[in-house]
Structure 1
Amino acid sequence: MRTFVRVTLTVLAFVVAALALPLTLGGVTLSASFENRYTPRTDGLSPQPVHRAHDPAKPTAVVVVGNEGAVVSDTLAPYEVLATTGAFNVYTVAPEARPVTLTGGLDLVPDLSFAGLDRLLGSAAPDVVVVPALPDLGEPSTRPVTDWLKQQSAKGTLLMSVCNGSGVLASAGLLDGRHATAHWFRIGGFDDEFPAVDWIRGTRYVDDGNILTTAGILSGIDGALRVTERLAGPEAARKAADAVGWAHYSPGASKPMVQNTFEAADAVVGFNTAFRWDKQNLGVLLTTGIRELELAAVFDTYGESLAVTTLAVGLDGAPIQSRHGLTFAPRDTPGAVADDLDRLIVPGADAAARRAADQYAGLAPVYLHGEAGFPFDAVLEDLVRLTDTATTRWTARTLEYPTEHLTLSGSAWPWTVTLRPIGLAVLGLLAAFGVRGLVRRFSPAGAGRRPPAAESR
């Protein structure tokens, strides 16, 4: 029995030794990977948004972001769709009038605070409120947003959530007894967390009267087109789909889709987040006039891959205005951080046409949107060259974006990254064997044992 216990403890000790280094070092990198998605700026810069004329004859649509930020495509994709129609006054709003960080480190200056929106609309409520996924879902910091959403709902506002923004609505009690959907990654957890909601799978959006919820990330485009159909008419929605390059528009109804689930290849995200220690740092150049979807494509695609990092930079470091009037604040200039950048990414068709970053030839600027197409296509095709096929397909599934029309060919798997935890485990085992040998050599039992030759004399 003692022998069995001793052997069991020895085996457990070696198992712990093999796991200690991979878990410790991987855990540190894993935590940093997720924290970096919303790293707040620390310079105290608080620029003012550009004022835009308000047309009281048009319905008003607002995209709400929390003080802790929001998912970048959840925010910018519906914004561009609604703004492209010309049928709405479209604003971004937040509890407070200060910059908020979207995923990937893109700092948005909201058009209005909640109080500012009240001053603009008086006693009226916005006609549409779009709710993206917030990073602090379920935390006390979301309370200003959920309280405000309940007030707007009570006034009859049409609420539209994108991705896990449905969790924000559910946490406010606004989805109880309703049909709703969410991102495939979280919908199972929402089943347990919000059992009063009838969660629907296999659809890009669920239209339930005064609340419309969408599935993951780019399904927000479908939701915004449905809102456009309802408030501005089918022809306006069709023109908006063409204008933003969305080839998956399904007039009048949600297009069915295969419900994503976890696959074996999804393990790639664990290796990328925990053991890709040499992630490339990409500078992303913000230029005036850029489309909101062009920005979203870069920050969300690279960000959702969890395999590279992004830093927003500007030609002179000053805030820029997007095509439809949003204000973004870069964190530095390319020249100031050149030594920290592996590549300079230049999104935007306009920036490519005027070669906006040629002054930084030493950084070999990559003009992603030099050719026509939906903005996410070029970024996914660049990501597969930077990383591998498994990482890129994971990212597309996270975005809920069909890729059958793309050429995503490259290395099948991040083999070098995968070997790192194995190497750490071997190193831990070697260390354990070394410690065991030292313990045996210098323990009282080992030290007191005479060599066999001496004992025979």
Structure 2
Amino acid sequence: MRVIVVVLAAVALPAALGAPAVIGALALNEPRTDGASHAPAPIEHDPAKPTAVVVVGTNGAVVSDTLAPYEILATTGAFNVYTVASGSRPVPLTGGLDLVPDLTFAELGELLGGSADLVVVPAMPDVGKPTTEPVTDWLETQVNGGTLLLSVCNGAAVVASAGLLDGHRATAHWLRLDGWQDAYPAVDWVRGTRYVDDGSVISTAGILSGIDGTLHAVDRLIGADAAAEAARAIEWPHFDPDGAATLEQARLEPSDAVVAFNTAFGWDRPRIGVQLAEGVGEIELASVFDTYGQSLAVGTVAVGDGPVQSRHGLTFVPRAETGVGLDRLVVPGATGRAVVPGMDPVQYPHRQAGFAYDAVLQDLARTTDVATAQWTAKVLEYPIDGLVLEGPTWPWTETLRPLALGILGAIIALGAFVFLGARRRARKAGQPPAAGPSASSMLTKPTAAK
């Protein structure tokens, strides 16, 4: 029993102090918005072009799932491209970025007089909950009108929750596939590929696999040359014009424990301000918010002095105006410059050539550790075989904290046993002798007559 108590004490103290940190780390990546109304950028519509839309839920969506497909589609110049939502208020994207939708569902219907040609469905934080019903109901009307659906990452579960994947082959993020298979057994879930084309639905694996799926959708709707040119424009190094590239099915490994240490014991995790500036690329923004956010080792928040328009016309709203309470500033974009007061140091990750996520992963390795950057790339489903990551090998401080707390908990438990044992011995030492005849009574007691 004593051994069990000591072991429980060694576990309980790290767990008690780590649990609030886990909640705090996850909260940093939870979508939030102030709900203030802001007007989107003016809408231009060319009826001669097909229309592609990226739908976001009331409670937001994953930032890379939303912005990477948007920029690819807009880069081609061959589509009318919009973000749409059930309402007009800003919607939160993971990592601390708020997006003003271009159109509501009703406004899109008035503009088109029917369904869009392509609807992109990113992962949403409230999949399967009643709050997604406006999206799933709208998706059903779009499909009935002949729309091609493209689900990105766990956006497949949003589509599946509407019953629109029943009988279809589909894929999703490797971390959630087992759960989706249990939740939506009518779907033929596929592993080990970056995307699945099942006719009326294209689904992609995790996060940046959405780039491959979007390029494939461009190929289907516009042509192979347009897809290849879009891949070159965003400097995507893994474009495969011959079809869906296979990928080794990722699984949790012992080295992935790095995320647990960062999440539960990264008590002093830095908070980074991400400056919003006019004309910033959508993928450049996503690379900063999602890379740091998926690591769970760094918090991010959008900063600026008011709404801005991105390279292809999306409207974003900052959550902070100054750098008060933040550790450093990151300025996305190749031509951006720091304008936020009170921020130092300042970093410019996109002033070097290459895919936008490369420099941010390298910075993550340098400022946290290589193991964290490798975990983040694994979650992003971004191959980094040719990317040089330099920095500490492992988050040793975060790893030693639970060990030290466990030892302390065991010492406290052992000390309690020693203290209680000493009290018991002291009580025993101070007790009177057991009841019985005393020596004096035995001397004075008369003896019986013989």
Normalising by structure 1, what TM-score?
0.92
| 2:74–2:81 CA contact under 8 A, matched in 1 | yes
Distance in 2 separating the partners of 1:32 and 1:102: 17
Q: 1:434 aligned to 2:415? A: yes
Name the structure 2 match of 1:91: 82
| 1:221 matches 2:211 | yes
Compute the displacement of 1:39 (Å).
4.2
**2:388 matches 1:407:** yes
Q: CA deviation at 1:362?
A: 5.6
| 1:263 counterpart = 2:253 | yes
Counterparts of 2:342 and 2:10 in 1: how far apart (Å)? 46
- Match of 1:448, SS state, is helix
Aligned to 1:323: 311
What is the 5 A alignment of 1:40-59? 40-42=32-34, 44-59=35-50
Shift of 1:176: 1.1
Taking the TM superposition and a 5 Å limit, the aligned residue runs for 1:35-114 are 35-42=27-34, 44-114=35-105
Aligned to 1:5: none
Task: State the SS of the aligned residue for 2:429.
Answer: coil
Q: CA deviation at 1:359?
A: 7.2
Deviation at 1:333, TM superposition (A): 2.1
- Unpaired runs of at least 5, structure 2: 432-450
Matched residue SS, 2:312: coil
1:396 to 377, 388, 399: 377
Deviations 1:366-416 (A, max 9, x none): 111111111001100100001111110000011111112211122111111
Check whether the contact 1:63–1:92 (CA below 8 A) recurs between aligned residues. Answer: yes
Where do 5+ consecutive residues of structure 1 fail to align? 1-8, 452-457
Residue-by-residue CA offset, 1:87-109 (whole Å, 9 max, x unaligned): 10001111111111111011111
Change (3 A) 1:359 1:253: closer
The amino acid of 1:64's aligned partner reads V
Q: 1:140 deviation in Å?
A: 1.3
From the superposition, tell whether residues 359 and 263 of structure 1 become closer, same or farther in structure 2 (CA, over 3 Å). Answer: closer
Superposed displacement of residue 264, structure 1:
1.1
SS of 2:275's equivalent? Answer: strand
Question: Alpha-carbon deviations, 1:206-256, whole Å to 9, x = none?
Answer: 001010000110111111111111111111111111111112111141111
Please tell me whether the aligned partners of residues 72 and 102 of structure 1 are also in contact (alpha carbons under 8 angstroms).
Answer: yes
Counterpart CA distance in 2 for 1:298 and 1:193 is: 32
The equivalent of 1:6 in structure 2 is none
Residues 1:448 and 2:428 aligned together: yes
> Letter of the aligned partner of 2:112 in structure 1?
L
- Return the alpha-carbon distance in structure 2 between the equivalents of residues 438 and 359 of structure 1: 57
Aligned-partner SS, 1:363:
coil
Give the superposition deviation at 1:116.
1.6
Q: For the Cα contact (< 8 Å) 1:38–1:69, is it kept in 2?
A: no
Matching of residues 201-216 of structure 1 within 5 Å? 201-216=191-206
* SS of the residue 2:352 aligns to: coil
Q: Which secondary structure does the structure 2 equivalent of 1:349 belong to?
A: coil
Query: Residue in 2 aligned with 1:454?
Result: none
* 8 Å contact from structure 2 (residues 31, 93) kept in 1: no
Q: In the TM superposition, what are the counterparts of 1:54-453 in structure 2 within 5 Å?
A: 54-122=45-113, 124-314=114-304, 317-334=305-322, 337-338=323-324, 340-351=325-336, 356-357=337-338, 363-443=344-424, 446-450=426-430
CA contact (8 A) 1:29 1:277 kept: yes
Correspondence for 1:29 among 15, 21, 33:
21
Residues 195 and 205 of structure 2 are in contact (CA less than 8 Å); yes or no, is this contact kept in structure 1? yes
Q: Residue type of the partner of 1:198?
A: D
Following TM superposition, by how much is the alpha carbon of 1:449 offset from its aligned partner in structure 2, in angstroms? 2.4
Could you tell me how far 1:422 is from its partner in structure 2?
Answer: 0.9
Which deviates more, 208-217 or 359-368?
359-368
Aligned-partner Cα distance in 2 for 1:252–1:58: 26
The structure richer in helix per residue is: 1
Please report how far the alpha carbon of residue 341 of structure 1 lies from its aligned counterpart in structure 2 after TM superposition: 1.4
Q: Aligned partners of 1:57, 1:89: CA distance in 2, in Å?
A: 9
Q: Distance in 2 between matches of 1:446 and 1:131?
A: 71
% of aligned pairs identical? 57
Deviations 1:166-223 (A, max 9, x none): 1111111111111111111111222222221111111111001010000110111111
Distance 1:77 1:359 in 2: 26
Over aligned residues, Cα RMSD in angstroms?
A: 1.5
* Aligned-partner residue type, residue 163 of structure 2: G
* Partner Cα distance (1:100, 1:35) in 2: 16
Q: What one-letter code is carried by the residue in structure 1 that aligns with 2:285?
A: L
Kept in 1: contact 2:262–2:296 (CA 8 A): yes
User: Residues 321 and 340 of structure 2 are in contact (CA less than 8 Å); yes or no, is this contact kept in structure 1?
Assistant: no
Partner Cα separation in structure 2 for residue 288 and residue 252 of structure 1:
36
Asked if 2 retains the 8 angstrom alpha-carbon contact of 1:146 and 1:171, the reply is: yes
Which AA in structure 2 matches 1:235?
A: D
